[in-house]
Chain A
Amino acid sequence: MSKLGVFDISVRYGKVPAVNDLTLHVTEGERVFVSGPNGAGKSSLLKAISGAVATSHGRIEMDGDLLTGCAPEAIARLGLSMVPEGREIFGALTVEENLRVGTGLRRDASAVEEDIADIYDSFPILGERRGAAAGALSGGQQQMLAIGRALMTNPKLIMVDEPSLGLAPKIVDQVYDTLCALQEERGLTLLIVEQSSLRAARVGGRMVLMRGGRIVGEGNAADMADRDALAAAYFGNSPTETEATT
């Protein structure tokens, strides 16, 4: 069953196009990586889905609900959560306050406390530093906090933008282990922007390759990683790309 449907959307900043007529489907429980070079429009795609930027064309649906034109807070209420690029944690708020920001849309107040306890179980360091200002955490800890915070809205679909950005490889392993475990446990659907196709291949899932605001290749992440599709996306034309765009 299709969880998320992106139909023919375009995003532009002024006159500069970032996403061009892009169509993408994500099925329930799936793990999809979006890869591609800088400026390919990966982040813009995620921002458009979450409602943070407006689309100039096309429509986006989740579980049959139309997301296009909805405010970000309304989209969050439909069960979509976002871990943005650069994590964007609230640095002046405490760790626990960061987790609680996303609980305002929930009706199950009693489950909130359990969920916070769960997150402290998954990330003990967050529990230890629950009263500390989140801005004082290390980069890896902030990434954990951003993931925990996204979970607190009780989402069905989580989008993660470049979780490996600025983190040591060992920490990135941890981040992905956690994401996969959470997906398993909660039946989440994951849409992840990951620039490293090798990383995506190792974690496993479907991979979508973007370039110039379009999808130029698609397949199993493990297969994609060693195909020339990647070289094509990063360095120029190749048979794969021509095939995909025509």
Chain B
Amino acid sequence: MTNLAQLFFDAASLGGLYAMAALGIALIFGVMNLVNFAHGEYIAFCVFALIVPSTDAVAMMFLGRAPALVLILVVLALGGLIAVASEYAVFRHLRRADPVAMMIASFALGFVIRNALLAAYGGRPKAISLWPGLNTPVNIAGASVPLLQLIVIVTTLLVVTGLALLLKKTRIGLEMRAAAENFTMARLLGVRANRVITGAFALSGALAAAVALIMATQTGVADVKMGGQIMLVAFIATVLGGLGSLPGAVAAGFMVGIVSVVLQAWLPLDARPFRDAFLYTLVIVCLLLRPQGLFVPASAKPRV
């Protein structure tokens, strides 16, 4: 029982993190048909925004010293800002370009951000301590769970419901959903392309910032590479969920998190180092069976 509860919290918090990262990618893909590979670098950027630029091994907190509420709001705003700025500087000029050209541009943008971070902070991973108190364990249902895991789970639920409400209840949400389905038609009905795309990038960047805050607290490390790793998993989750499907991205993000935690726990000891190989084999099997993604609703396809 203890084990199961522990497993549940591990899986739910990791899944929540993946789900938020996947949502950030799916939002942009939905309105622009762009797989934004710079998304991982948005995450890294937000983590490094917490500390003073230096090449020391132990980082001085910069933004990280601000009171929690201010810190959270500023980092979310920074994430939104870098995403919107990158749309304005790069993707806006490629709207009529081939999706492949846009994707490659996103790689290039990712390199630029990553190397800018390397230049400012050096390549060595740094220890940072953001809210260390959150890693103290609390006892729930016999399992010893770091407080942060609970916060991650609650945050994910809040973010997902908040986003769902925004998309369902607000004007900009309606326009985003319409644009995600058929951008040209939405524009023919007077929906402003720039407004929708800027909105999607701002949301996506804020999601990257949320992921960044969680990762920084959880790992206690600021590493330029951390964005790329989670970006890969999140991208797989969006493909698995059906590219562009927001509920699909959330569900698949959770699924990937749960499966990897379960594999970690239940694989024989000798096989554990190869957990990711097992995980990705399952991904391949899923895609072979449902190449269009697991959660594409039948009603999404208009009748001819």
Contact = CB atoms under 8 A, between A and B. Distances in A.
A97 interface: yes
B189 interface: yes
A91 B299 contact: yes
A139 B190 contact: no
A101 B186 contact: yes
B187 A88 contact: no
B178 A153 contact: no
Contacts, number: 93
B181 A90 contact: yes
B184 A92 contact: no
Interface string A110-137: 0000000000000000000000011111
A41 interface: no
B175 to A, nearest CB: 6
Interface stretch (A1-9, A32-40, A78-86, A184-192): A78-86
B251 to A, nearest CB: 16
A101 B184 contact: no
Contact of A135 (B186, B193, B300): B300
Nearest to A88: B185
A142 interface: yes
Name the residue among A84, A88, A104, A133 with the largest chain B CB count within 10 angstroms. A104
A50 B303 contact: no
Contact of A73 (B191, B297, B299): B191
A166 interface: yes
Contact of A93 (B178, B187, B191, B303): B178
Interface size class of A (residues with CB under 8 A): 35 or more
B187 A71 contact: yes
Interface string A30-74: 000000000000000000001110000000000000000001110
B299 A133 contact: yes
Nearest to B181: A90
Nearest to B296: A92
B175 A135 contact: no
Interface in B285-304: 297, 299-304
Given A91-B181, A93-B178, A101-B186, A135 B303 contact: yes
B193 A92 contact: no
Given A52-B184, A101-B174, A101-B186, A91 B191 contact: no
A138 B189 CA distance: 22
Contacts of A77: 190
A92 B190 contact: no
B299 A136 contact: yes
A105 interface: yes
A92 B171 contact: no
A11 interface: no
A102 interface: yes
B144 to A, nearest CB: 43
Given A90-B178, A90-B185, A91-B181, 7 more contacts: A73-B193, A77-B190, A88-B302, A90-B186, A93-B181, A97-B178, A134-B302
9 contacts: A51-B188, A52-B187, A72-B184, A77-B190, A81-B189, A82-B188, A93-B181, A97-B177, A153-B190
Q: Which 9 A-B pairs have the closest CB atoms?
A: A105-B190, A102-B189, A76-B190, A91-B302, A72-B187, A133-B299, A135-B299, A92-B300, A101-B178
